[in-house]
Structure 1
Amino acid sequence: MQNMQILGGLVVIIMLPLVARPTQSASYVFTHFETAPESTGISSKPYAVILSVLLSNYCLYGYDTAAHLTEETKGADRTGPIAILSSIGIISFFGWAYNLALTFSIQDPNYLYDPNNETGGGLVPAQIIYDAFHRRYQSATGAVVFMCIIWGSFFFCGLSVTASAARVVYALSRDKGIPFSPIWRKIHPKYKVPRNAVWLCAVIGMLLGLPILKLDVIFTAIISISTIGWVGGYAVPIFARLVMAEKNFKPGPFYLGRARRPVCLVAFLWICYTCSAFLLPTVYPITWDTFNYAPVALGLVLSLVMLWWVLDARKWFKGPVRNIDVNNGI
């Protein structure tokens, strides 16, 4: 699955600039700044820079999947951090390459945000691909093929997210931390996977995706909430490590040494910044159709969780269930 994503990404990254020749100049790609106030309502360059981190951060946090796999690998205390760093490196490389391929392939910058263009001015990457093929071959067939490749990558990404979410549900149910835990932690006797947890995540994903077919603002809210949820979760142990006395910490084989506190401080501040950015409006003027509902939904979810904790969960949830005897090594 990952090989297909990498292969498809390479095809788009390499072939698109070749089709779009002549391409934009390097000075345009690396120095031109476009806020597109006509379509976004945003003319402030600092605000546009703040919003520009949203997509990159959502993609970079793919290391979360690598973290979920650590308990299923041998030597996880060493291979886990290596997998996380490798994931960040690969994502960074392909992300930069994809963005460069798109920006170099722009044909008419003013046409990208035109509400009367082929994508209604709202799907800039798709419009770039369409313009490149239509200008070169007077046909959109190649653009459709490229969009299918990108759609396939999204589909496989969705499978990865579902698998990762199922692991989280299984882990929480194993620790008796969610309702109906015995159902979700049940392992299929033949395939040795938590099938019920997988189906639960798949159904929830499909239900959340249905409103997106009608309202784009739902997609923004879901992406924002999901990113804040898993990124914010990392802020807790990072902050704890930042303030923890060194005598109370036992380092493992992957240890930052003297760099530990500066790295933790930068990571914690970066998480606070990115989580705050995901709560900001992305389109102006603010209306019912453009409002970022992430703060409302996040506040509602946190309120329900805290209410559940105060009224019920604190009476029986005691934290992770130990399934390994440290003294005997079993």
Structure 2
Amino acid sequence: MSSSSKPDTKFDQLPGVVDNNADDALANLGYKPELSRNRSTLQVAFMSFVLASVPYGLATTLYYPLVGGGPVAIIWGWLAVCICVICVAASLGEITSVYPTAGGVYYQAFMLAPSNWRRVASWICGWLYVVGNITITLSVNFGTTLFLVGCINVFESEPGVGILAGEPYQVYLIFLGITLLCNAISSLGNKWLPLLDTAAVFWTLIGVVAMIVTILVMAKGGRRDAKWVFTHFENNSGWPDGWSFCVGLLHAGYATSATGMIISMCEEVQRPSIQVPRAMVATLFMNTACGLLFLIPIVFVMPDIVELINLAQPVPYIFKVATGSSGGAIGLLTPLIVLAVLCGVCCTTAASRCTWAFARDGAIPGAKWWMVVNHKLDVPLNAMMLSMVVQLLLGLIYFGSTAAFNAFSGVGVMCLTASYAAPIAISLATGRKQIREGQFYLGPVGLVCNIVALAWSALALPLFCMPTVVPATVETVNYASVVFVAAMLISGGWYWMWGYRNYAGPPTHED
């Protein structure tokens, strides 16, 4: 383990991992195989698809593009972000093909960086990756909670008043139940998760087709014309038009933020240097098409935008107006609710793996506890419980501010975006030399993808610190930057107090 090695030891860079025996390849990277490799190429692609859960992600965050620009922000913003994130996936795929470990991007940052600063590069990237995984899992489960409250309230006790008040304690208790359920499924049913992911893909496709056919055929609230759907821009944010459109991209950025989380499953995949890169890129094309298939019909039956932005969750109301009944709406929303829980299970699984991997290299306080694998369940159970406890504690912020979900989703996107950018930037700065031996090397196309990926990252980081509307109030201000800075200060302080002297980074060739 790296905790026994000396900091900044000089060694030769490991060659590209091309061994078809994944366990031998992992041993060459310095790790003992501890998890079962029970996923095929198709199954890892399906897990990547469920991690994103595009219809759910787009449904729970539709408020942002509605405020930022309306139909233009919803449809064209989604397409623009998907193009950028495909470049992120391709760039990460090239690097993962060479360094396929559960450590993911922080391991890659260490191996790609020059020897004199690889430790600090992997430390920063690792904390960004772990915090991003945990907070995006938190935001998924919290988003599911708020979405479920919105779905329940399609039934009204009186006109305009839902049957569930949505008091902070009610919201937190539902969030607690969903979080415990996701952790129970992920830990106790690990060997069945590939089958669950496969079922979730077909469930999603069938559910989306049922939704779009029903709302377009019924359309009790009327239909918009194609010109309005594809060209109407309506700024309700208070920002200048261009920046308002950009702020609305949180919708798409959130739905695609899980792109690199699948890398943490590399040690449970049969041929990770090939399967994981292909799955990441192929899934993005699937997600792009699925997102358009879901969004365009919704915009065609959309009620007045100003009316929608006064709702915390606009999609349940859109479905209710389109079907003309609460029962019809809840029937169409059921596939999204189930998908939301399955997405939470996948995010819980990925977050536990990256937390475990970072602890395995000695970077998390109490690492000897969190690096333990429960071989009976075949999961890093302690790391999963650590991740769960952190999520439940952060969820308490909701009692102080209902803008908590904005902070969770924003900081999750920011941390993951920054962690993805780190190895890409280092690889580009060092001439892309190390990745040329990988089985997913893209040549000049990869270079273009690197540039686009970093440009998107440079835009996304400040973008997701911004309040959705201005002037901002206590309830509408974006606390993502506060959480992001707090996480970085804590990790930086831990490195200064302990990591500088003790953290050696991932295992080296000499180790």
TM range, normalised to the smaller chain?
0.7 to 0.9
Q: Is the 8 A contact 1:66 1:87 kept in 2?
A: no
* Corresponding residue of 2:208: 9
Shift in alpha-carbon separation, 1:213–1:16, aligned structure 2, 3 A = farther
Identity %: 25
Q: Tell whether 2:276 aligns with 1:80.
A: yes
Q: Tell whether 2:225 aligns with 1:25.
A: yes
- Counterpart-to-counterpart distance in 1, 2:374 and 2:410: 33
Q: Is the 8 A contact 1:133 1:142 kept in 2?
A: yes
Q: Is the 8 A contact 1:59 1:91 kept in 2?
A: no
Following TM superposition, by how much is the alpha carbon of 1:272 offset from its aligned partner in structure 2, in angstroms? Answer: 1.2
- Counterpart-to-counterpart distance in 1, 2:363 and 2:335: 39
Following TM superposition, by how much is the alpha carbon of 1:12 offset from its aligned partner in structure 2, in angstroms? Answer: 2.3
* Corresponding residue of 2:385: 199
Q: Which has the higher contact order (CA 8 A, sep 6+)?
A: 2
Shift in alpha-carbon separation, 1:179–1:10, aligned structure 2, 3 A = farther
Shift in alpha-carbon separation, 1:248–1:85, aligned structure 2, 3 A = closer
Gaps in structure 2 of 5+ consecutive residues: 1-195
- What is the correspondence of 1:1-330 to structure 2 with a 5 Å cutoff? 1-2=196-197, 3-4=199-200, 5-6=203-204, 7-20=206-219, 22-35=222-235, 37=236, 40=237, 42=238, 44-109=240-305, 111-113=307-309, 115=310, 121-134=311-324, 139-212=325-398, 215-245=401-431, 250-321=436-507
- Counterpart-to-counterpart distance in 2, 1:283 and 1:150: 27
Q: Is the 8 A contact 1:173 1:184 kept in 2?
A: yes
Following TM superposition, by how much is the alpha carbon of 1:14 offset from its aligned partner in structure 2, in angstroms? Answer: 3.3
For 1:216, what is the secondary structure of its paired residue? coil
Q: Aligned AA for 2:312?
A: G
TM-score where L is the length of structure 1: 0.86
* Corresponding residue of 1:118: none
Following TM superposition, by how much is the alpha carbon of 1:256 offset from its aligned partner in structure 2, in angstroms? Answer: 1.2
1:173-214 CA-partner distances (Å, limit 9, x unpaired): 111111111222212131211112222222333333344477
Q: Is the 8 A contact 1:60 1:92 kept in 2?
A: no
For 2:376, what is the secondary structure of its paired residue? coil
Following TM superposition, by how much is the alpha carbon of 1:225 offset from its aligned partner in structure 2, in angstroms? Answer: 0.7
Q: Is the 8 A contact 1:102 1:128 kept in 2?
A: yes
- Counterpart-to-counterpart distance in 1, 2:435 and 2:328: 56
- Counterpart-to-counterpart distance in 1, 2:296 and 2:232: 13
1:25-77 CA-partner distances (Å, limit 9, x unpaired): 21111011122x3xx4x263212210121111111222223222223222222
For 1:69, what is the secondary structure of its paired residue? helix
For 1:287, what is the secondary structure of its paired residue? coil
* Corresponding residue of 2:31: none
Q: Is the 8 A contact 2:261 2:350 kept in 1?
A: yes
- Counterpart-to-counterpart distance in 2, 1:50 and 1:208: 27
Following TM superposition, by how much is the alpha carbon of 1:316 offset from its aligned partner in structure 2, in angstroms? Answer: 0.8
Q: Is the 8 A contact 2:260 2:420 kept in 1?
A: no
Following TM superposition, by how much is the alpha carbon of 1:319 offset from its aligned partner in structure 2, in angstroms? Answer: 0.5
- Counterpart-to-counterpart distance in 2, 1:159 and 1:99: 24
Following TM superposition, by how much is the alpha carbon of 1:325 offset from its aligned partner in structure 2, in angstroms? Answer: 9.4
- Counterpart-to-counterpart distance in 2, 1:171 and 1:237: 17
TM-score where L is the length of structure 2: 0.57
- Counterpart-to-counterpart distance in 1, 2:318 and 2:486: 38
1:2-29 CA-partner distances (Å, limit 9, x unpaired): 3335243333233322232653221111
Q: Is the 8 A contact 2:407 2:479 kept in 1?
A: yes
For 1:62, what is the secondary structure of its paired residue? helix
For 1:99, what is the secondary structure of its paired residue? helix
1:98-149 CA-partner distances (Å, limit 9, x unpaired): 1112111224445434x5xxxxx33222221111122xxxx31111223333
Q: Aligned AA for 1:79?
A: Q
For 1:162, what is the secondary structure of its paired residue? helix
Q: CA RMSD in A?
A: 2.3
Q: Which moved more, 1:184-193 or 1:234-243?
A: 184-193
For 1:289, what is the secondary structure of its paired residue? coil
For 1:166, what is the secondary structure of its paired residue? helix
Shift in alpha-carbon separation, 1:247–1:142, aligned structure 2, 3 A = closer
